[in-house]
Amino acid sequence: MPNYGFVIDLRTCIGCHACTVACKAEHDIPIGVNRCWVKTVEKGQFPDTSRFFFPVLCNQCDDAPCVSICPTNALYKRRDGIVDLDGDACIGCRACMVACPYDQLFIDPGTHTAEKCNFCANRVENELLPACVSVCPTECRVFGDLDDPGDPINALLQQVPISVRKPEKGTQPKVFYIAADESVLQPEATTHPLTFKEGQVTRRPLGAPPEDPSTPGAARVDYDVPHEQAWGLDMALYLLTKGIATGALFLAALLWGLGHTDGVTTVMAPAVALLFVTITAGILIADLERPERFYYILTRPNWRSWMVWGAYFLTAHGALATLWLILGLAGWTAALDWLVVPTLVVSLLATCYTAFLFAQGLARDLWQGPHSVIDLAAQAAAEASAALLLGATLLPIDASAATVRVLGGALFGALAVHLVLLLVEQVLMPSPTRHHELAVRAITKGPYAPIFWGGAIGGTVVPLVLLALLASLGAWSSPLGAAGLVVASVVALGGGFAWEYVWVDAGQCVPNS
Q: Is the pLDDT of residue 479 over 80?
A: no
Q: What average pLDDT does the segment 94-114 reach?
A: 94
pLDDT at 52: 92
Let me know if 101 is exposed, middle or buried by CB neighbors in 10 A (0-12, 13-18, 19+). Answer: buried
Q: What is the mean pLDDT of residues 487-507?
A: 96
Separation CA 419–CA 492 (nearest Å): 11
CA separation, residue 291 to residues 92, 277, 282, 295, 296 (Å): 8, 17, 10, 9, 10
| Residue 199, CA distances (Å) to 31, 195, 382, 507 in order | 13, 10, 38, 22
Q: What is the value of pTM for the model shown?
A: 0.91
Is it the case that residue 161 has pLDDT exceeding 70?
A: yes
Contact 457, 422 (CB under 8 A): yes
Cβ atoms of residues 317 and 249 within 8 Å: yes
pLDDT band at 475 (very low <50, low <70, confident <90, very high): low
How many angstroms separate the CA atoms of 203 and 511, rounded? 14
Among 227, 225, 271, 230, which residue's Cα sits nearest to residue 248?
Answer: 271
pLDDT band of residue 193 (cuts 50, 70, 90) is low
Task: Give the chain's domains with CATH numbers.
Answer: 4-223 (3.30.70.20), 233-434+448-506 (1.20.1630.10)
Calculate the average pLDDT of the chain.
90
Q: Is the pLDDT of residue 45 over 50?
A: yes
pLDDT 10s digits, 49-68: 889 999 999 999 999 999 99
DSSP assignment of 33-70: --SSEEEEEEEEETTEEEEEEEEE-----TT-HHHHH-
Sign of torsion over alpha carbons 167, 170, 172, 175: negative
Query: Rounded distance, CA 196 to CA 229, Å?
Result: 10
Taking residues 479-503, what's their average pLDDT? 92
Does the pLDDT at position 248 exceed 60? yes
Mean pLDDT for the stretch of residues 403-411: 93
CA distance 459 to 379: 12
Q: Please tell me which residue, 1 or 362, carries the higher pLDDT value.
A: 362
